[in-house]
Chain A
């Protein structure tokens, strides 16, 4: 039973206020959002910070909902779980997700995120406008291709990410977005 204590310790030392592992759906997304909102309301979190956290959470969770069903191995759909976490420190919230992605998507994701991280505030705004007005409709999955850009804009910080090989056709894609608290200057 030691793993229970270990999990508890990990959550405490990492200051995780919410961890969800498993299947992701729109219903789960709404529940996780409601829990996080209640948590932030309970401590009287600043409404601007609350909105940014909510915003980043939605994009993060809906990314997983949209992209977690495309994983197949040898033609058969494979159920891979994903993980979503919120950490809260005195000076920041950390919104983190992890999900398996096919290895052939890694380069594309890496390139996209590197490009976003190379842009400053004005660059991100222009990139957002460029993507939204490109005459493409939503993707097959219903995405606008704007999620990461929006997360970077709301965060005001670089997106942190990593790909961990899983020993098959997949890599584990971890993504961390920081929302600073107690921000006195309006960036």
Chain B
């Protein structure tokens, strides 16, 4: 399966989706001009992956900032992950960033996937 490895920019996050190495990670800033367009390849990749996933999937969100249009797409990603068994979310937030911690808590209440909260 193809590996997605997108470098982050000032308005888009870094994304790594690599099933062989077991790395699934979105980090940085997300405020793209067109969120739906930006995240579509990620959603497509997850659709394929969900057909025959690894025995365990740990998906890492390490976001510094995301806008509201991205939040909708993050929920779409989480909803896809919900259908993959043995998936856990590692939600990272900067230790003094209560808003990012709260955002993670709210997402965890919207989907049936276990969240672990970690600071960086």
A51, B33: Cβ atoms closer than 8 Å: no
A55, B65: Cβ atoms closer than 8 Å: yes
Given contacts A62-B31, A133-B75, contact A144 B68 (CB under 8 A): yes
The answer, yes or no, to whether B98 is at the interface (CB within 8 Å) is yes
A48, B67: Cβ atoms closer than 8 Å: no
Closest CB-CB distance, B28 to chain A, in whole Å?
14
- A177-B63 Cα distance, complex, nearest whole Å: 24
A48, B110: Cβ atoms closer than 8 Å: no
The answer, yes or no, to whether A65 is at the interface (CB within 8 Å) is yes
Residue of chain A at shortest CB distance from B72: A144
Residues of B contacting A30 in the complex (Cβ-Cβ under 8 angstroms)? 10-11
The answer, yes or no, to whether B106 is at the interface (CB within 8 Å) is yes
Interface size class for chain A? 20 to 34
Residues of A contacting B67 in the complex (Cβ-Cβ under 8 angstroms)? 58-59, 62
Residues of A contacting B99 in the complex (Cβ-Cβ under 8 angstroms)? 51-52, 55, 154
Residues of B contacting A26 in the complex (Cβ-Cβ under 8 angstroms)? 11, 33
Contact partner, B68, options A51, A52, A137, A150, Cβ 8 Å: A150
Residue of chain A at shortest CB distance from B102: A125
Closest CB-CB distance, B32 to chain A, in whole Å?
8
Residue of chain A at shortest CB distance from B70: A144
Additional A-B contacts beyond A34-B10, A51-B65, A132-B75 (10; CB < 8 A) = A26-B11, A47-B94, A54-B65, A58-B31, A58-B65, A65-B33, A128-B106, A133-B75, A138-B36, A150-B68
